[in-house]
Structure 1
């Protein structure tokens, strides 16, 4: 007669399983090695128990009687034994401890419950719950209990410890569904997390913590998802790591859901891809090299986001953190003009600092910045700037001569910005160091290195392939070395000259000389020689001033000439003002300015032209980070928005395109800056901020304004200018692609990211001498 002989039980290791079950009183009946299969035939048997009477139950009248005779004896003389089968592949390993899909697999009957309960407890069995007398019977044989097998030493045995074993009377099967599904049992299993560790999970955990470190996600928000993953795997026995991956990914998405699903201002948000689809759609309307603030201004207008004063951009993994774009001057004031804890510069400026000096004023924070500001402030005083007017006139006269030479030829200026940059570099060289760079008449290695290095440090996204361009880094180091060497030579020579004649420091109007005079007043001694630290400080700030001093000013000059060529009425007013203030002969204007520098500040309409040019074509904004956790910013709608864990971009170019602040925001209207000539109303407080506002506004803004006014005063009456992109296209043999969206943002002269925002291809122009 056939009978059930053996039941297979999948285990991880034979010896560990034998040791475990032996501790519970099981007997090893056979342990034979099978060479051809590289397996062992291991059979174990539970502790022997004798047949026992069928349990009694109470009838409705209280009398005791035996259970129905149809129930089989608990243990027969030919009871089944257990075959320990070692798992041979990953598929079989997945079933270790899960033979019956989460239900009770084997039942062990006993003739003495209390005895075996104590013996199993002494062996280390961990019980799910204490013994309990059920309502349908009495006596220890009618009690039921369940336990989790105890942990063994070593990582492999911990896997075995997840198996559940239940000991109970034969009448408790009807209640087991409640036992198996008990939440208490499932939660207790979570106290053994180390047993869940696998290579896959370790890698996932390390990657997740790395993302937390990079501030891609928030640990406190994602922890519940990771716990849910562990709970899910244990209760449903999903042991292949899929749940860990699934819930870890969900954990990364939790902050996004909380941040972007709950109606933070921004473009339509995609659950999987964030704002990337919408950003891609809008960006594709523009040329690939357009500056980001042009696109952001377009997005703010298209999606009606200006009413919030700010909006958020979620473009992970292209960028590693959310971007808060501020498009309102009032909101910018909360970040830039705060009187309390300052918002530090964002680390993204670190690469940029390599080109213009790590210890330059732009890169410094707190006390380091205050010390530099104090040192250089006197050099940018109004009186000292006016003393530079003759020098500025001298350098501008060279610029005018170059324009005359071009006009007498074919009249084509291939890159107006490059021409303007040369004159501004020469001006900053003399203003800063009292040194003639001669950039307008010859090549200068120092200037070339500083400018080219600055062009190599654009702000790259996480996935930008240019980050992997080794040649770019080698070029940067090369230009850095040249500029460092040249500036060190100039500064050392100037130091020696001032040491020999200290009176020159107090009489010079060069910004560096004034800083030296201040250094001596604070106890410094020029004769002891320049220290390495002070030399590095001066060197990096010379780089900063060379770059910042020429870049913004050349952009203003270029766009001002271009705007006036498109707005004849504004050009007419400017020429009339120059006639009235500087005399009717344009050839005498330079001499008049040199004789009376105050005339440069007596040109209100020219100043309005410069201010309006800066409003429309602001070269840069400010990128900050929150000073501490929990920092918030109040939008124009009165709501409070989180600022920590964000890159905060005060996009001044976008902010000054607000129709609420500047009616007809994309139109060139210089009169808006002259109250008695404007029909647009007063400009609100904080609204005009091309040089930023607050304690860290641009130190050189007055010098930039002064230079531009003088250049315009000496050129507008002598020359006519006209955009020449068509001629550049003809010479290059190209057919430009049309972008209708550019019509209100400069057309072909749109702004591109070239360290700061510059005009596309420097705006090619036709230049011609005026007649009469």
Structure 2
């Protein structure tokens, strides 16, 4: 592929699609054929067409390839891959555990784990030691999701945990779509680590059945079990439910930690490069949270909803998710379907075709986001509220330089009924961590130093160190991760 001569060899496929579209001016929709590694796919690169796929009255179902990819990690019952009635049942079972009202009750626990994270940052600052932020942030977010979902404190920030170790090993063994998945040793190791995770979660479920729910707080597991037991013949001892619960609790550990850890890492990188944006964030935190940083943890514990009163911080998070979205949504055409791109002839897609909603490509299109490769949180600052004809009110985005993102162009968690079930948790969690770290520590992105120490990585990437003008370009590592995990130095502020 010609793209690979223009970009780092390890650039994530979704970013390669964006580069491919730019190089060849491919327009709103184009075909990509990498057989036998993957099925032929149609990449959608326009908000209107993406709406047709995921937001119309009959959105396209998830493609079976998702199950093939995730099965080693999440089994056959994951809400991420399910369709039709099964998906609706799973969504209704687990969605209440991700409501804003419930998540607010979990904020004090997020604060507790973030305090441990701050202790580790202090240790790195004292040693002036280069480290990769994403793996460390992932340990934090896994600890948080463990408490929120299972009521289990993995303590992976300070020790090794059986489930977390199996989980991390399994992530490294997932198919990558770039090589044939035929190694029998890999398949054996996947089963081994998947069984370790299954047995761990079964023990938690059975302990809960024997001893009752945690009296201090309700977990997502508690809420799902309560809803299930209200169904006719519903029982925690139903073997079918146990496997369903195991598969989805694994799903939430996988999906629930990843977006938060990668986004936090990317934010620290971007703020290191944009001190003018960092200054605005600090000013907002001083105004809303007070200047006593030693008291911030207790303040958020006492007033969890205060974390929702940080509009500029939220804009920074949203702009970071625009630049570095999770991998796009893979859907299947339920019937022969005709699309009408704005800049090309109509395209009829055969039934069963793989359709990739190119979120990265849409997010990096200058038509929808001027200067798309630049970091401008002001794109997402709300200017005012307007009253619609039917009496409803709606927030109007001022945008950056007068350019507000068009409808349906911004979709980091996808849109429509299949929008990420954990999006609210990710936003709350990231705000908590930023509020507790940005005024206490100074973060310095250190890619140049990392490359000096690891010239082999530069060589493996074809000697190229940036994509879209950015050193923290996305690579494939089970999901879309920042290159080298964002190497950093951290300093304690006086």
Fold shared per TM-score above 0.5? yes
The alpha-carbon distance between structure 1 residues 379 and 741, as it changes in their structure 2 partners (threshold 3 A), is same
The partner residue of 1:602 within 309, 315, 320 is 309
587-596 vs 674-683, which moves further: 674-683
* 8 Å CA contact 2:62, 2:81 repeated in 1: no
Looking at structure 2, the residues matched to 525 and 632 of structure 1 have their Cα atoms a distance apart, in angstroms, of: 43
Q: Which residue of 1 aligns with 2:200?
A: 486
Unpaired runs of 5+ residues, structure 2, are 384-397
The partner residue of 2:361 within 654, 668, 682 is 654
Q: Alpha-carbon deviation of 1:314?
A: 3.5
What is the correspondence of 1:138-217 to structure 2 with a 5 Å cutoff?
Answer: none
* 8 Å CA contact 2:363, 2:409 repeated in 1: yes
In the TM superposition, what whole-angstrom CA distance separates every residue of 1:396-424 from its partner, at most 9, and x where no partner exists? 111011001110112322x2101100110
Looking at structure 1, the residues matched to 210 and 72 of structure 2 have their Cα atoms a distance apart, in angstroms, of: 27
Looking at structure 1, the residues matched to 244 and 32 of structure 2 have their Cα atoms a distance apart, in angstroms, of: 37
What is the correspondence of 1:346-745 to structure 2 with a 5 Å cutoff?
Answer: 346-413=64-131, 415-461=132-178, 464-465=179-180, 467-498=181-212, 508-523=217-232, 530-628=237-335, 630-637=336-343, 639-644=345-350, 646-676=353-383, 678=399, 679-732=401-454, 734=456, 736-737=458-459, 743=466, 745=468
The alpha-carbon distance between structure 1 residues 702 and 338, as it changes in their structure 2 partners (threshold 3 A), is same
Q: Which residue of 1 aligns with 2:488?
A: 765
Q: Alpha-carbon deviation of 1:577?
A: 0.6
- Say whether 1:287 aligns with 2:1: no
Q: Alpha-carbon deviation of 1:460?
A: 2.3
* 8 Å CA contact 1:314, 1:323 repeated in 2: yes
Looking at structure 1, the residues matched to 133 and 299 of structure 2 have their Cα atoms a distance apart, in angstroms, of: 27
Looking at structure 1, the residues matched to 231 and 217 of structure 2 have their Cα atoms a distance apart, in angstroms, of: 18
* 8 Å CA contact 1:356, 1:454 repeated in 2: no
* 8 Å CA contact 2:176, 2:476 repeated in 1: no
SS at match of 2:458: coil
Looking at structure 1, the residues matched to 20 and 234 of structure 2 have their Cα atoms a distance apart, in angstroms, of: 56
The total of aligned residue pairs comes to 477
* 8 Å CA contact 1:412, 1:766 repeated in 2: yes
Q: Which residue of 2 aligns with 1:302?
A: 23
Q: Alpha-carbon deviation of 1:338?
A: 2.2
SS at match of 1:747: coil
Q: Alpha-carbon deviation of 1:322?
A: 2.6
Q: Alpha-carbon deviation of 1:583?
A: 0.8
Looking at structure 2, the residues matched to 747 and 740 of structure 1 have their Cα atoms a distance apart, in angstroms, of: 14
Q: Alpha-carbon deviation of 1:497?
A: 1.9
SS at match of 2:284: helix
Looking at structure 1, the residues matched to 56 and 172 of structure 2 have their Cα atoms a distance apart, in angstroms, of: 32
The partner residue of 1:748 within 459, 471, 477 is 471
The alpha-carbon distance between structure 1 residues 381 and 542, as it changes in their structure 2 partners (threshold 3 A), is same
SS at match of 1:749: coil
* 8 Å CA contact 1:356, 1:450 repeated in 2: no
Looking at structure 2, the residues matched to 715 and 377 of structure 1 have their Cα atoms a distance apart, in angstroms, of: 30
The alpha-carbon distance between structure 1 residues 562 and 363, as it changes in their structure 2 partners (threshold 3 A), is same
Looking at structure 2, the residues matched to 340 and 348 of structure 1 have their Cα atoms a distance apart, in angstroms, of: 19
The partner residue of 2:30 within 311, 314, 321 is 311
Q: Alpha-carbon deviation of 1:669?
A: 0.4
* 8 Å CA contact 2:443, 2:489 repeated in 1: yes
Looking at structure 2, the residues matched to 663 and 342 of structure 1 have their Cα atoms a distance apart, in angstroms, of: 30
SS at match of 2:382: coil
Q: Alpha-carbon deviation of 1:768?
A: 0.6
In the TM superposition, what whole-angstrom CA distance separates every residue of 1:236-283 from its partner, at most 9, and x where no partner exists? xxxxxxxxxxxxxxxxxxxxxxxxxxxxxxxxxxxxxxxxxxxx2222
In the TM superposition, what whole-angstrom CA distance separates every residue of 1:45-99 from its partner, at most 9, and x where no partner exists? xxxxxxxxxxxxxxxxxxxxxxxxxxxxxxxxxxxxxxxxxxxxxxxxxxxxxxx
In the TM superposition, what whole-angstrom CA distance separates every residue of 1:315-341 from its partner, at most 9, and x where no partner exists? 44554x432111112111111112126
Greater relative contact order structure (CA < 8 Å, 6+ sep): 2
Q: Alpha-carbon deviation of 1:743?
A: 4.1
Looking at structure 2, the residues matched to 352 and 599 of structure 1 have their Cα atoms a distance apart, in angstroms, of: 37
468-477 vs 397-406, which moves further: 468-477
* 8 Å CA contact 1:749, 1:763 repeated in 2: yes
Looking at structure 1, the residues matched to 168 and 229 of structure 2 have their Cα atoms a distance apart, in angstroms, of: 32
Looking at structure 2, the residues matched to 716 and 524 of structure 1 have their Cα atoms a distance apart, in angstroms, of: 50
Looking at structure 1, the residues matched to 371 and 64 of structure 2 have their Cα atoms a distance apart, in angstroms, of: 33
Q: Alpha-carbon deviation of 1:288?
A: 2.3
